[in-house]
């Protein structure tokens, strides 16, 4: 680099590589170069240190140093008995822990909740660790089998039929509602000005309903036969297995390539049979514990896990719908998203809990917890839709064109090219909504569901444990629980982001 | 002479009120290499994008290997399976490795088992001379390498016609040659090619016909020798004088 100033230069020897200079800053170096290198930084360092001093020291004092660790009731946590200004009253949490985890779930049945938790962890952890194999089986167990098993474990009860009678029942309900609507129109035709028209329409609807009832007659007849015989569940199960397996066999390619589909279908039904037998679902199952007895962490986890798992598919569907070129789908998606985003969650929960029953037909009731679940899933789904849309918008048009030029259909382009890239862009936003959903589950306590926070507040009223620090201890405990879950989600999302964006690093 | 593999007749296209393609008639024989050139905005990219239905058109008909593509775009998928396309900006799928880029369409469109698709893809990656990069992501490669992968990806579908939309315009000068060499190899194997490019050297060496477009219409079409030595139309002469200095 010497004679570069002169106008012509030709390098004779290429320079060899040298190692980078070693960093020489230790702790003192760091202090000097980063913390105390200018008047502003000195001031900021002092302010930061003071902030830490005034937050961390009192927290540690309250939670650990001044805390009472053992005792039988409130007397242990009173300053005059302990001999010092009492901080956290941990025996209170210890005494109330069952209530905070299970709510009013009957004590004899709590093993079912524990078993559900264990099942969930056993299925979720392998799903989250990328190195472990069989992700497909694991995912289908967690997303499809586990919710059903968890329902029968937590709620209890058995089944009276299987696929065949459920299909028959559903079709019958559908048909009844058609005939009901037809008769309602006929009823109107007696008083209306356009009576002849209504009469024709009403009769037509009733006719269609009757036609359908004839169409499904073989199914309902078979159902009645099975119900009449003993062992109705197993007879129905066998029929359903045969029908579904045959369909899988046909769709899988028939005699030539269908054997694999047939085998996996039969294996799945065999597994279902084992579960039914193990849980005794054919003989009434476990004792029913209605959802108004559920509470505490159980409700928080049920609501948030269901919300997280269902809101993402809803969001993806709505985001795709909003970008659709079909006007009806696009308008529906926009209206749906804007409606749910424009309404506060509390309103949604109130509406779902107290007003929805007024709109539903009289004999049709939905469980209170399920109503809150649906409300939260749709609410979060609308938010996720906008997150996903942001990711989709970041994909260059050329990606879709390249996929189209290779002959990929819209569905394949979307699921193989656009969504995998789009979702990776918005992992932080998606997890942001999940975390926000997790904390928003505490709002269900205003519609008479006792989640973790609700159970906690209920426990404050127990005179046995009323001390000056009870409420602080309780909220500190709830805060720690919420923090563990939310921080866990946050860290895991960073890990996923890092892993999935491997292609963006050079 | 057999039927042309691509036959464009009476093609008209408007963007709103703007008439981008005006009465285009063009027949491409099997194995023919056609270079389309012209000033920017002359509609040359739009024309070849119409051939695999990335653009809609309002009037006329395009027949690819006996499959007719009218204004209602009915046989889109059938046509796209016969036509490979290489883009100016590569458009590789950045979240998939090079090998996955090359096996995606054979697996999901042609339903070829993954193993066979990978063997086949490696064959094409060897042809474009980058088999050892098969497990890299596109973002880790140079532009020239990416474009060669894009060519290999299009070839894995065994297209009857290849469309190139300015394949070297986004490349550093040093990398243009490696892509052009790949295209020359392809031409020598008898692939039918429609190439939009400003590389006049390539046109001279490889093309059977050079088509010059301006203002949405074909101004002049001729063999490269005639086209470069004795352009007929005043607009062609002006264009050639601008780019061949």
pLDDT given at position A27:
77
**3-state secondary structure (DSSP) of residue A241:** helix
Instruction: List chain A residues with CB under 8 Å of B91.
Output: 396, 398-399, 401-402
Nearest to B77 among A407, A420, A424 (CB): A407
**CB of A325 within 8 Å of any CB in chain B?**
no
Cα–Cα distance, A423 to A420 (Å, whole number): 6
Query: pLDDT (tens digit, 9 = 90+) per residue, A263-272?
Result: 888 888 888 8
Nearest to A407 among B91, B105, B150 (CB): B105
- How many CA atoms does the CB half-sphere of A316 hold within 13 Å? 16
A431 and A309 within one domain: yes
- Residues B91, A398: C-beta atoms closer than 8 Å: yes
Q: Would the pLDDT of A144 be above 90? A: no
Apex A308 CA angle, A305 and A312, nearest 5: 150
pLDDT tens, chain B, 245 aa long: 567 889 998 889 999 889 889 999 999 999 899 999 988 888 899 999 999 888 888 888 888 888 888 766 677 888 888 899 999 999 999 999 999 999 999 999 888 889 999 999 999 999 888 889 889 999 889 888 999 999 999 999 999 999 999 998 888 888 888 889 889 988 888 899 999 998 888 888 889 999 999 888 899 898 988 888 888 888 888 888 887 76
User: How far, CA to CA in Å, does A281 sit from each of A52, A273, A275?
Assistant: 57, 10, 8
If one counts the domains in chain A, the total is: 2
In a domain, A4, yes or no: no
pLDDT given at position A363:
62
pLDDT band at A182 (very low <50, low <70, confident <90, very high): confident
Strands B83-86 and B59-64, bridge-based pairing: unpaired
- Range in A94-98, A250-254, A410-414, B209-213 with the lowest mean pLDDT: A250-254
pLDDT given at position B171:
87
Instruction: List chain A residues with CB under 8 Å of B84.
Output: 405
Cα–Cα distance, B175 to B109 (Å, whole number): 32
In a domain, A77, yes or no: no
Of A414, A397, A399, A430, residue with least CA distance to A497: A430
The backbone region for B15, taken as left when phi is positive above 0, alpha when psi lies in -120 to 50, beta otherwise, is: beta
Q: Would the pLDDT of A358 be above 80? A: no
The residue count for chain B: 245
Tokens of A299: 């409700």
Q: Would the pLDDT of A251 be above 60? A: yes
pLDDT given at position A157:
80
pLDDT given at position A362:
60
Q: Would the pLDDT of A481 be above 60? A: yes
- Residue B192 near residue B161, CB atoms below 8 Å: yes
Tokens 């703007």 belong to B18
Query: pLDDT (tens digit, 9 = 90+) per residue, A417-436?
Result: 999 999 998 999 999 999 99
Q: Which domain holds residue A190?
A: 163-283
A304 and A451 within one domain: yes
Which chain B residue shows the shortest CA-CA distance from A499? Answer: B95
Query: pLDDT (tens digit, 9 = 90+) per residue, A361-392?
Result: 666 667 888 888 888 999 999 999 999 999 99
Q: Residue A218 is inside which H or E element, if any? A: helix A217-228
- Residue B94 near residue A398, CB atoms below 8 Å: no
Strands B59-64 and B209-214, bridge-based pairing: unpaired
**CB of B154 within 8 Å of any CB in chain A?**
yes
A–B CB contacts, 8 A cutoff, strictly below: 67
The dihedrals phi and psi of B86, each to the nearest 5 degrees, come to -120, 130
**3-state secondary structure (DSSP) of residue B208:** coil
- How many CA atoms does the CB half-sphere of B13 hold within 13 Å? 31
**3-state secondary structure (DSSP) of residue B192:** strand
- Residues B84, A405: C-beta atoms closer than 8 Å: yes
| Boundary (domain end) residue, out of A283, A308, A340 | A283
Fold of domain B6-244: Rossmann fold (3.40.50)
pLDDT given at position A116:
92
In a domain, A45, yes or no: no
Q: Would the pLDDT of A49 be above 80? A: yes
A364 and A264 within one domain: no
Query: pLDDT (tens digit, 9 = 90+) per residue, A431-472?
Result: 999 999 999 898 888 888 888 998 998 888 888 888 888 889
Helical segments of A216-364, H only: 217-228, 232-251, 254-257, 259-279, 296-322, 327-342, 345-350, 356-359
Which chain A residues in 417-456 lie under 8 Å from chain B, judged by CB atoms? 417, 420-421, 424
Cα–Cα distance, A469 to A85 (Å, whole number): 10
pLDDT given at position A4:
58
Nearest to B104 among A401, A405, A416 (CB): A416
Which chain B residues in 37-56 lie under 8 Å from chain A, judged by CB atoms? 52, 54
Nearest to B95 among A396, A406, A503 (CB): A503
| Boundary (domain end) residue, out of A223, A255, A283 | A283
In a domain, A76, yes or no: no
- The model carries a pTM of 0.82
Tokens of A213: 């009832």
Cα–Cα distance, A464 to A205 (Å, whole number): 64
In a domain, A255, yes or no: yes
**3-state secondary structure (DSSP) of residue A157:** strand
Tokens 């001044």 belong to A66
Integer-rounded Cα Rg, in Å, for chain B is 18
A434 and A352 within one domain: yes
A305 and A196 within one domain: no
- Residue A114 near residue A101, CB atoms below 8 Å: no
Q: What is the mean pLDDT of residues A277-286?
A: 78
In a domain, A406, yes or no: yes
A446 and A326 within one domain: yes
> The domain spanning residue A323 has which CATH number?
1.10.3720.10
Q: Would the pLDDT of A109 be above 80? A: yes
Q: ipTM for the complex?
A: 0.89
A489 and A352 within one domain: yes
**3-state secondary structure (DSSP) of residue A497:** helix
Q: Please give the share of chain A, as a percent, with pLDDT higher than 90.
A: 31
pLDDT given at position B118:
93
A380 and A315 within one domain: yes
- Residues B85, A405: C-beta atoms closer than 8 Å: yes
Tokens of A462: 């127990």
- How many CA atoms does the CB half-sphere of B79 hold within 13 Å? 24
Closest Cα in chain A, distance from residue B39 (Å): 22
Nearest to B87 among A402, A409, A424 (CB): A402
Nearest to B80 among A398, A407, A417 (CB): A407
pLDDT band at A250 (very low <50, low <70, confident <90, very high): confident
Closest Cα in chain A, distance from residue B236 (Å): 31
Q: Would the pLDDT of A2 be above 70? A: no
A264 and A313 within one domain: no
Which residues partner with B63 through β-bridges?
A: B7, B68
Tokens of A269: 């039904």
Instruction: List chain A residues with CB under 8 Å of B95.
Output: 420-421, 424, 500, 503
A324 CA to centre of own chain: 26
Output B16 or A34, whichever has higher pLDDT.
B16
**CB of A155 within 8 Å of any CB in chain B?**
no
Query: Strands, E, within A290-376: which ranges?
Result: 295
- Residue A190 near residue A317, CB atoms below 8 Å: no
pLDDT given at position A331:
95
pLDDT given at position A23:
67
Cα–Cα distance, A167 to A226 (Å, whole number): 14
A422 and A393 within one domain: yes
Which residues partner with B194 through β-bridges?
A: B34, B163
Cα–Cα distance, A129 to B218 (Å, whole number): 59
Which residues partner with B26 through β-bridges?
A: B8
**CB of A408 within 8 Å of any CB in chain B?**
yes
pLDDT given at position A24:
63
In a domain, A210, yes or no: yes
Cα–Cα distance, A310 to A381 (Å, whole number): 8
Q: Would the pLDDT of A28 be above 80? A: no
Q: What is the mean pLDDT of chain A?
A: 85
In a domain, A385, yes or no: yes
Which chain A residue shows the shortest CA-CA distance from B107? Answer: A408
Which chain A residue shows the shortest CA-CA distance from B135? Answer: A503
**CB of A292 within 8 Å of any CB in chain B?**
no
A225 and A185 within one domain: yes
Please report, for chain B, the start and end positions of each structural domain, with discontinuous segments joined by +.
Answer: 6-244
- Residues B54, A409: C-beta atoms closer than 8 Å: no
| Boundary (domain end) residue, out of A238, A266, A283 | A283
- Residues A424, B95: C-beta atoms closer than 8 Å: yes
**Cβ within 8 Å of residue B54, ≥6 positions away:** A401, A404, A405, B85
A279 and A181 within one domain: yes
Query: pLDDT (tens digit, 9 = 90+) per residue, A208-245?
Result: 888 888 888 887 777 777 777 666 777 778 888 888 88
Tokens of A70: 């053992």
Strands B83-86 and B161-165, bridge-based pairing: parallel
pLDDT given at position A286:
82
Q: Please give the share of chain B, as a percent, with pLDDT higher than 90.
A: 34
Query: pLDDT (tens digit, 9 = 90+) per residue, B200-229?
Result: 888 888 899 999 998 888 998 989 888 888
């Amino acid at each position: 680099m010497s004679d570069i100033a002169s106008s012509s230069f030709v390098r004779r020897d290429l320079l060899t590589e040298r190692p980078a200079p070693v960093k020489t800053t230790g702790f003192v170096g760091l202090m000097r170069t980063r913390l105390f290198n200018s008047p502003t930084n000195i001031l900021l360092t002092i302010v930061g240190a003071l902030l830490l001093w005034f937050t961390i020291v009192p927290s540690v004092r309250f939670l650990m140093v001044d805390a009472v660790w053992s005792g039988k009731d409130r007397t242990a946590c009173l300053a005059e008995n302990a001999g010092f200004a009492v901080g956290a009253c941990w025996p209170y949490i210890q005494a109330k822990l069952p209530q905070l985890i299970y709510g009013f779930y009957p004590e004899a049945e709590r093993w079912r909740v524990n078993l559900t938790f264990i099942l969930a962890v056993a299925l979720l952890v392998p799903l989250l660790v990328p190195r472990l194999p069989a992700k497909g089986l694991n995912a289908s167990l967690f997303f499809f089998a586990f919710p059903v098993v968890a329902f029968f474990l937590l709620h209890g009860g058995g089944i009276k039929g299987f696929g065949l009678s459920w299909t028959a029942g559903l079709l019958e309900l559908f048909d009844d509602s058609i005939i009901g609507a037809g008769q309602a129109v006929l009823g109107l035709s007696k008083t209306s000005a356009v009576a002849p028209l209504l009469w024709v329409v009403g009769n037509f609807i009733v006719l269609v309903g009757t036609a359908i009832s004839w169409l499904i007659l073989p199914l309902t007849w078979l159902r009645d036969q099975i119900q009449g015989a003993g062992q109705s569940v197993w007879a129905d199960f066998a029929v359903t297995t045969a029908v579904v397996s045959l369909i899988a066999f046909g769709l899988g390619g028939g005699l030539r390539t269908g054997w694999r589909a047939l085998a996996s279908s039969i294996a799945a039904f065999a597994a279902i049979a084992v579960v039914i037998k193990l849980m005794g679902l054919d003989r009434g199952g476990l004792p029913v514990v209605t959802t108004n007895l559920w509470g505490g962490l159980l409700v928080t986890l049920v609501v948030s896990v269901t919300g997280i798992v269902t809101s993402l598919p809803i969001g993806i569907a709505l985001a795709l719908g909003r970008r659709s070129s079909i006007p009806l789908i696009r308008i529906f998606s926009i209206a749906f998203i804007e409606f749910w985003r424009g309404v506060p969650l509390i309103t949604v929960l109130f509406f779902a809990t107290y007003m929805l029953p007024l709109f539903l037909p009289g004999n049709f009731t939905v469980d209170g917890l399920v109503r809150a679940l649906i409300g939260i899933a749709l609410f979060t789904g609308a938010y996720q839709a906008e997150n996903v849309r942001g990711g989709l918008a970041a994909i260059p048009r050329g990606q879709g064109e390249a996929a189209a030029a290779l002959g990929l259909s819209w569905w394949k382009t979307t699921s193989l090219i656009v969504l995998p890239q789009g979702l990776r862009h918005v992992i932080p936003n998606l997890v942001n909504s999940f975390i926000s959903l997790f904390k928003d589950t505490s709002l269900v306590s205003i519609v008479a569901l006792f989640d973790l926070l609700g159970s906690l507040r209920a426990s404050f009223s127990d005179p046995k444990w009323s001390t000056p620090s009870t409420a602080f201890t309780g909220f500190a405990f709830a805060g720690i629980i919420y923090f563990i879950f939310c921080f866990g989600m946050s860290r895991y999302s960073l890990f996923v982001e890092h892993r999935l964006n491997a292609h963006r690093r050079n | 002479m057999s039927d042309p593999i691509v036959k464009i007749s009476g093609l008209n296209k408007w963007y709103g009120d703007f008439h981008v393609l005006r009465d285009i008639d063009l027949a491409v024989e099997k194995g023919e290499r056609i270079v389309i050139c012209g000033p920017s905005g002359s509609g040359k990219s739009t024309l070849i994008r119409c051939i695999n239905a990335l653009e809609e058109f309002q009037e006329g008909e395009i027949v690819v290997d006996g499959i007719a593509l009218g204004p209602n775009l009915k046989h889109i998928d059938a046509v796209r399976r016969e036509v490979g396309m290489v883009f100016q900006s590569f458009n590789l799928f950045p979240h998939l490795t090079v090998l996955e880029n090359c096996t995606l369409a054979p697996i999901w469109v042609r339903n070829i088992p993954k193993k066979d698709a990978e063997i086949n893809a490696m064959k094409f990656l060897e042809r474009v001379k980058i088999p050892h990069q098969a497990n890299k992501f596109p973002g880790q490669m140079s532009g020239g390498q990416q474009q060669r992968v894009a060519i290999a990806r299009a070839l894995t579908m065994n297209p009857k016609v290849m469309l190139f939309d300015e394949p070297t315009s986004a490349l550093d000068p040093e990398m243009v040659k490696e892509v052009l060499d790949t295209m020359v190899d392809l031409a020598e194997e008898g692939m039918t090619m429609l190439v939009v490019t400003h590389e006049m050297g390539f046109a001279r060496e490889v093309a059977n016909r050079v088509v010059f477009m301006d203002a949405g219409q074909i101004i002049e079409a001729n063999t490269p020798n005639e086209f470069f030595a004795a352009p007929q139309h005043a607009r062609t002469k002006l264009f050639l004088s601008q780019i061949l200095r």
